[in-house]
Amino acid sequence: MKPRNYINRELSWLEFNERVLDEARDRAIPLLERIKFLAITASNLDEFFMVRVGGLQQLVRQGSRKMDPAGMSPEEQLEAVSRRTRRMVEGQYSCYLDDIEPALAQGGVMRRRPGELSDRQMKAVEQVFESEVFSVLTPMAVGGDREFPLLTDRMLTLCVRLDPGVGEGDARYAVIPFGRALQRHVTLPAVGRYEYILLEDVCTLFIQRFFPGEHVLEVVPFRINRNADLSVREDLAFDLLEEMEEILDQRKQSPCVRLEISQQASLGVLEFLQRSLDVSSRDVYAVAGPPDLAAYMRLTELQGFEELKYEPWPAHPSPDVDLKFSLFDILSRRDILLYHPFDSFDPVVRLVEESADDPDVLAIKQILYRTSRRSPIVAALARAAERGKHVTALVELKARFDEARNIEWARELEQAGVQVIYGVKGLKTHAKVCIVIRREPHGVQRYVHFGTGNYNEITARQYTDASFMTTHEELVSDATSFFNTITGYSQPQKFRKIEMAPLGLRERLIELIEVETERKRQGRRARIMAKMNSLVDPALIEALYAASSAGVKIRLNVRGICCLRPGVPGLSENISVVSIVDRYLEHSRLFYFYNGGDELVFISSADWMPRNLDRRVELLVPIEDPACKARLVDIMETCFKDTVKGRHLMSDGSYQLPRHKGGRAVRCQESLFRKVRKIARQAEQHRQTTFEPYRPGGEGI
């Protein structure tokens, strides 16, 4: 393994976030969508600092000199990350201040500064301050002999510098944390447009109300990120639920990994906060505009500005799911493949809801990783248990940043009578599977749903993911064995069709790659296509390099991190990598191997990363139904044809948009939407004239 053959993981992730920022810069995209992309880049950076940078800082404190596959030590990675992130932050604020904010004002969404308010607006702001802000917020004196308060991660806070008075020595300070109760964007009275003022500007306007009789010298907004890279010592944990709650408490007081502060802050304020928060200069990010651009996501929810948003792309009902029939009747006749969000997620929800209400259903077994706040699936599982069905839910408490929510509804499920299992010791359960056991005239029948995404009907409208529902005997048998393996003490079984991590998934993937490699060496045709979120695993990268050297044509669609260098002569000249960043988050994991013409197609919950293959419970599921398989191949092919949003990875780690000369521009997400819409319309016309089920033909989808 040669370091020059690998791209550093952290720098690759930052390049992904830059591609998201490119969408915010794209003036062909509607304005409120551009600010959504900008907010996403800010939110992404928060999590990057909390997890990845926090982890690197821990390694440096421990004195680690261990090199990553690209040959960089933790200290070298922190230095490189700091340099790259500063350029990105400058780009974020240049995009916002010089482009998006002026354009929004022209489009009818305007931010007002304190000196720009009309008399009417000033009265409205004063009323809001007196009735809400002043009552809710609490200033706290800090410095001197006063202990600095425990500030909440990512919460905007004001640092106030007060005049110490004649002969009183150093300046005095106070902080005002904003909390979660108040809106950052305060709506102003306006006619025919939306105008707002930021909460920090409101507080600055009336800062003397907090400090009567004092001379306020400076008011500076800032916020911090705390290290969230804390893990449960499961070998010592007697009660995993209680241990996770302790981890959540520890995060509230973990070290500060970044201080984001207005660049208008004086040196005195900056030095005071650095001392108080124990932050090095490398971890200070002075920004040219309002801190916390992630808060601007709220503006994307404004009503009445539809011309500043994308044209709606509603999800369409699957032609395979006729509402006149039960899903059990439909699945007894055919497998169903759904590709969200183009296909509606409703059949997945409906499977669980029908199972909860059907008197012939005996049991439901399901893995829950992330769900929505008012999840209809969680409600259906509780209802099923209350109706006497045997319901087992494996709830992954270690789903980062969703731990508190998962703990809450796991307890609700337990109270309803659901048998709740809190993950697998030492591993994070990331597989997506639901098994329904039903009594039928011919005996007990099992129905299974496998997915690449979570059981979350909200994100299913925002992420591209595949769902596969089947009664295929070998697959449902494997699913049952898999579930029993991870919930009980049974020894891992030899599955007939599926593979699971951490037991054999990497080995199976390497085997599939090596089969293509050997076929090519024998002079036969060989081809690999893979779609995933991240490619990091050195063993799989080395296998792909070997396949490329043998002449295997490999096309990879990797949305985010890619540590493989494509296009290197003698190493990877037969590998191309494309990343697609568009209105939906590319999230599905799809894999294709030519296999001598007997094509193999898989869906998976796992990215090709060590964490997925070694430290998580994941699934790789073969899709053998000809129509379902053909559709997945078409989806992958469509992604590789993208000439609008498909950025190609260069061997130096940079990305370039394709240059199409006079040909038809292809935007894969739009192409997939239009195909699904066309077939949905044909299916509806078909149902109006016949009771026979509709099966699309010749549509390539």
Confidence at 696, pLDDT banded by 50, 70, 90: low
Q: Give whole-number Cα distances, 456 to 122, 341, 348, 351, in Å.
A: 43, 12, 10, 14
**pLDDT tens string 334-362:** 999 999 999 999 999 999 999 999 999 99
DSSP assignments along 474-517, one per residue: HHHHHHHHHHHHHHSSPPPP--SS-EEETTTHHHHHHHHHHHHH
**pLDDT tens string 488-536:** 756 667 899 999 999 999 999 999 999 999 999 999 999 999 999 999 9
Cβ–Cβ under 8 Å, residues 679 and 319: yes
**pLDDT tens string 630-657:** 999 999 999 999 999 999 999 999 999 8
Top mean pLDDT of 57-66, 406-415, 577-586 is at 577-586
Which alpha helices (DSSP H) does 312-447 contain, by range? 327-331, 346-357, 376-386, 403-416
Residue 167 has pLDDT above 80, yes or no: no
What pLDDT does residue 188 have?
Answer: 97
Residues whose CB is less than 8 angstroms from the CB of residue 469 and which lie 6 or more positions away in sequence, other chains included: 327, 331, 335, 336, 338, 347, 348, 351, 447, 448, 449, 450
More confident residue, 661 or 452: 452
What pLDDT does residue 493 have?
Answer: 72
Measured N-to-C along each axis, helices 376-386 and 346-357 cross at an angle, to the nearest 10 degrees, of: 10
What pLDDT does residue 254 have?
Answer: 77
Q: Which domains does the chain have, with CATH numbers?
A: 3-308 (3.30.1840.10), 327-497 (3.30.870.10), 500-666 (3.30.870.10)
Q: Give whole-number Cα distances, 693 to 13, 320, 329, 686, in Å.
A: 45, 7, 12, 8
Give the separation between CA 179 and CA 137, rounded to whole angstroms. 8
What pLDDT does residue 229 have?
Answer: 67
Residue 627 has pLDDT above 60, yes or no: yes
Residue 233 has pLDDT above 50, yes or no: no
Cβ–Cβ under 8 Å, residues 334 and 625: yes
Confidence at 483, pLDDT banded by 50, 70, 90: very high
As annotated, the active-site residues are 430
Confidence at 698, pLDDT banded by 50, 70, 90: very low
Cβ–Cβ under 8 Å, residues 307 and 293: no
Cβ–Cβ under 8 Å, residues 554 and 547: yes
**pLDDT tens string 7-43:** 999 999 999 999 999 999 999 999 999 999 999 999 9
What pLDDT does residue 235 have?
Answer: 41
Confidence at 402, pLDDT banded by 50, 70, 90: low
Q: What is the 3-state secondary structure (H, E, C) of 230-251?
A: CCCCCCCCCCHHHHHHHHHHHH
Closest to 596 in 3D by CA, of 518, 541, 509? 518
- Residue 223, strand partner residues: 260
Give the separation between CA 425 and CA 236, rounded to whole angstroms. 11
Strands, E assignment, 227-335: 256-262, 284-287
Residue 248 has pLDDT above 70, yes or no: no
Give the separation between CA 231 and CA 176, rounded to whole angstroms. 31
* The model's pTM: 0.92
Q: Tell me the residue type at 620.
A: L
Residue 169 has pLDDT above 90, yes or no: no
Is 58 exposed, middle or buried (CB count within 10 Å of its CB: 0-12, 13-18, 19+)?
middle
Positive or negative CA dihedral for 205, 210, 215, 217? negative
Give SS3 for 169: coil
Cβ–Cβ under 8 Å, residues 232 and 428: no
Cβ–Cβ under 8 Å, residues 413 and 241: no
What pLDDT does residue 424 have?
Answer: 79
Please report, rounded to a whole number, the percentage of residues in the chain having pLDDT higher than 90: 77
**pLDDT tens string 110-159:** 999 999 999 999 999 999 999 999 999 999 999 877 888 888 889 999 99
Cβ–Cβ under 8 Å, residues 386 and 414: no
Mean pLDDT of the chain: 90
- Residue 160, strand partner residues: 174, 219
What pLDDT does residue 487 have?
Answer: 83
- In the predicted model, what is the mean pLDDT of residues 160-180? 83
What pLDDT does residue 58 have?
Answer: 86
Closest to 205 in 3D by CA, of 115, 121, 295? 115
Lowest mean pLDDT across 151-165, 417-431, 451-465: 417-431
